[in-house]
Structure 1
Amino acid sequence: MNIKDHIRGVPDFPKPGILFYDISTLLAHPDAWQVAMGRMAREIIKFQPDVLAGIDSRGFLVAAPLALKLGCGFVMLRKKGKLPGETIRHDYALEYGTDTIEIQKGAIEEGKRVVILDDLLATGGTMAAGVELLRKIGAHVTGAGTIIDLAFLPGKQRLKELDVPFTCLASYDE
């Protein structure tokens, strides 16, 4: 099964000139979603994770079912102010400003092997920030994965510079 057949391209979203790759059509097709999660599981298990970390918010849709399938823990990396209790944060640069990503204090024990997941890798800014946050709390980031990689953008290179192996199910060259 070709996973790309179940990913919809939405032109001019969220702004003119952008082609948005929408996984909601993949999620809505149970057979395709099962295949996608099976393929991701076979790749992610190679990173020997103890915990899967999903990036807010579509990364949760990838990480949570994979954690269940692989028998791993699951934690959320969220935007500032979205997690209850005490959090640890990491501020990072955007093209025009800054943003913050957080994790709940104590969510991952120091030294645990963590794989970070999202739906799509583009510039790699948020994924890199997630890696840095996880390292800040003492996690060992063994890999990263997404359903979609926009290969024409520098996301994979950013992860390579952080020494984080990367896997994806579908790569787009434009």
Structure 2
Amino acid sequence: MSSQFEIEQYIHAIPDFPEPGVVFRDLSPLFANPKALRICIDRYLERYIDWDLDAVVAIDARGFIVGSILAWELKKPLIMVRKAGKLPGECEQASYSMEYGSRTVEMQKASLKAGDNILLFDDLLATGGTVMAATTLITSLGAKVAEVAALVDLPDLGGSSKLTSAGISTFSLVAYAES
């Protein structure tokens, strides 16, 4: 693939899914194309290879796909943020609101230690609720979020600006305006 490769061709816009008025960004074609996924991973590696990171924290579920590859390539542990009730052992929980309810995510308490420097990865940054909850989990365990990385940013939904306002750096490979 050329150096002018654009991942947008592998991210499909599905209108009115999962409900009317929502444009769903389907990453399945990207994940199904090994060359396209490799190029995405290489772009992240170019950015993070020299960072002083202790772990990659990935968010359930599509964040696990790229997050686990990044952790492997960076030779760092992968720590999972999952929906409540999905992890064994003692867990820390954080809840967040959405326009149609609330959700709770959790992380095992023993997964991080004070002072750890974390790369937090999710597939898509929209309103920032899940990422802010994950950041709360990370900081409650004494660790620090070095940066939030995502494949896609939807800046019109405010998540990246919410994180920036909270002093958290973000990086994505592509951004889509929703309007």
2:45 corresponds to 1:22? no
Partner AA of 1:91 in structure 2: S
- Asked if 1:110 corresponds to 2:114, the answer is yes
Structure 2 residue 79 is matched with structure 1 residue 79: no
CA distance in 1, matches of 2:52, 2:9: 30
User: 2:152 pairs with 148, 151, 160, which one?
Assistant: 148
Q: What is the deviation of 1:86? A: 1.4
Alignment-derived partner of residue 63 in structure 1? 67
**Which residue identity does 1:67 align to in structure 2?**
A
Distance 1:154 1:47, change over 3 A: farther
Q: Paired residue for 2:96? A: 92
TM normalised by structure 1 equals 0.95
Is 1:6 matched with 2:7?
no
> Which segments of 5 or more consecutive residues in structure 2 lack a partner in the other structure?
none
Q: Is the 8 A contact 2:155 2:161 kept in 1?
A: no
C-alpha offsets along residues 117-140 of structure 1, whole Å, 9 cap, x if unaligned?
A: 100000111111111110011111
Task: Work out which of the residue numbers 148, 157, 164 in structure 1 matches 2:168.
Answer: 164
Give the number of the structure with larger relative contact order, counting CA–CA contacts within 8 Å between residues 6 or more apart: 1
Does structure 2 retain, via aligned residues, the 8 Å contact 1:44–1:145? no
| Matched length | 174
The answer for the alignment partner of 2:142 in structure 1 is 138
1:130 and 1:137 map into 2 onto residues whose CA distance is 11
Identity of aligned residues (%): 39
1:13 Cα deviation from its structure 2 partner: 0.8
1:101 matched to 2:108: no
Q: Does the CA contact (< 8 Å) of 2:54 and 2:77 recur in 1? A: yes
TM-score (norm 2): 0.92
Q: CA RMSD in A?
A: 1.3
Contact 1:47 1:115 in 2 (8 A): no
Gaps of 5+ in 1: none
Q: Distance in 2 between matches of 1:109 and 1:34?
A: 31
Partner SS for 1:106 = helix
Counterpart of 1:93, as a letter, is S
